Amino acid sequence: MPGLLSELLAAESAPLAPRQPHHRAPAKNVIFIYATGGVSHIDTFDPKSTASGRDGTGKDRLMGNLFGSERNKQCGTEVSNLFPHVREVMDEICLVRSMKASHFDHSEATLGMHTGSPTFARPSMGSWVSYGLGTENQNLPSFIVIAPHLPYGGTQVYANDFLPAFHQGTRVLPGENPIANLRAPGNTENLQSLEFGLVERMNQAHADRRAHDSALAARIQSFETAFQMQQAAPEAFDVQQEPEHIRRMYGLDRPSKGPGADFAWQCLVARRLAERGVRFIELIDTGSRPNWDSHGEMQEHARLADNVDQPTAALIKDLRQRGMLDETIVLWATEFGRTPTREGKNGRGHHRDCFSIWLAGGGFKGGHVHGATDEIGKYAVENPVEVHDLHATVLNQLGIDHERLTFRHAGRDFRLTDVHGRILDDLIA
């Protein structure tokens, strides 16, 4: 009992301090790349050659991969020509082709992928990981979301919901001022120290009368973190500190200042944050219109893929060459796939019955393909995977037992995987 009491007291005084995992595991942190809008599996990581014809109902017009494909020379995994750079590193990637979405609408499916619940507000995966493991860098948030635009589902994708407010994601914007109001204009360091001291004393006096107010405790913690971040964050976000060949590898030398350059910055900063002990980093790929939601014209996929292909592959290469990939999970996902049938001129509709996601590092099998879809990419016919299975497996690789990571709320214990989830042993090296 004394040991448990000291643990609880320590957690209250340092809510983001590193915590011991439930079991030994290879991974320490996560970089989650989220592609907003529903990426077509048929045109990317599960290319299908069916060029024309009709499906089994005799009504719908089939449309196969529009961009061609080749196989990785080491592992043989076939990938669309939309992702030539990622194809080069498929020997590091564990590809799941039999993913099933939790819903067929964007917002619900996005929330399902992030929180495990497509219909009710629940804490995000990043918040659960922060709650379970804390962070190794007390000068930076434990959960950072780099998002030029919000995805479907809005801020709920990084919300803490009923978890303590310390574990909510901190949004960062690519550009010269990633975190707004990080520095107060005109304030000297001494004056700001005095101001923070006064605020801290007032907050603490207020908190002493409200010992169980999580939001108030989080506000006090946020002031302390903000003060520490004034030194740590600008340095972490300063990619100019990187050698020129690293910036060039990510594509930061591209002449365009558009989304491609932004995403290169996102990926390089993600590596720098992981290097500095941030527990969970999410990169939102676009979120603006047009995104991957290609109802009318699939050629829009070509521009979007060109923005993200090189930096995504560079992130994996960079983590590997720094010895960080074994302890960093890189998860790439979208909310659902797209239909094997044509919509509009050359578009595709929403498709929840199967799509592709992939994982690299963190003890996952490189060069491995899990599951399969039928010949036209309509159904998962081998080893279907639910969102709860994915979450359980990611948590497992971080040393977290998904059935033991719980939080008491509204009279019952909640968890990321609800009452579902199985660990996908076939994905683990």
The SS3 assignment for 292 reads coil
Structurally, the chain folds into a number of domains equal to 1
Tokens of residue 28, six digits? 């320490």
- Judge whether residue 130 has pLDDT over 90: yes
Q: Is residue 418 part of a domain?
A: yes
- Judge whether residue 98 has pLDDT over 50: yes
Going 344 to 346 to 350 to 353, the CA torsion angle's sign is: positive
pLDDT band at 323 (very low <50, low <70, confident <90, very high): very high
Q: Is residue 224 part of a domain?
A: no
Q: Is residue 322 part of a domain?
A: yes
pLDDT score for 193: 65
pLDDT band at 299 (very low <50, low <70, confident <90, very high): very high
Give the Cα separation of 36 and 339 in Å (integer): 16
**Domain of 267?**
12-181+245-427
Give the Cα separation of 115 and 122 in Å (integer): 6
- Judge whether residue 184 has pLDDT over 90: no
DSSP track, 157-221: GG--TTS-GGGSPEEE-SSS-SSTTSS-TT--HHHHHHHHHHHHHHHHHHHHT-TT-HHHHHHHH
Amino acid at 116: G
Mean pLDDT across 313-331: 98
Q: What is the CATH number of the domain that holds 348?
A: 3.40.720.10
Helices then strands, counting H and E runs in the chain, come out as 10, 16
Angle at 280 between CA 278 and CA 282, to 5 degrees: 120
What are the residues whose beta carbons fall under 8 Å from the beta carbon of 264, sequence distance 6 or more?
250, 251, 252, 254, 310, 311, 314
Note whether 281 and 32 are within 8 A (CB): yes
Structure letter (DSSP) for residue 332? E
Give φ, ψ of 368 to 5 degrees.
-110, 145
Q: Is residue 161 part of a domain?
A: yes
Mean pLDDT across 5-16: 54
The SS3 assignment for 92 reads helix
Q: Is residue 414 part of a domain?
A: yes
Per-residue pLDDT tens for 132-154?
999 999 899 999 999 999 999 99
- Judge whether residue 227 has pLDDT over 70: no
Q: 382 has which bridge partners?
A: 372
- Judge whether residue 125 has pLDDT over 90: yes
Q: Is residue 220 part of a domain?
A: no
pLDDT band at 5 (very low <50, low <70, confident <90, very high): very low
Burial of 3 (0-12, 13-18, 19+ CB in 10 A): exposed
Q: Is residue 31 part of a domain?
A: yes
- Judge whether residue 54 has pLDDT over 70: no
Tokens of residue 403, six digits? 């059935």
Note whether 46 and 77 are within 8 A (CB): no
What are the residues whose beta carbons fall under 8 Å from the beta carbon of 255, sequence distance 6 or more?
none
Closest by CA to 279, choosing from 392, 138, 151, is: 138
Per-residue pLDDT tens for 337-379?
999 999 988 999 999 999 999 999 999 999 999 999 999 999 9
Q: Is residue 133 part of a domain?
A: yes
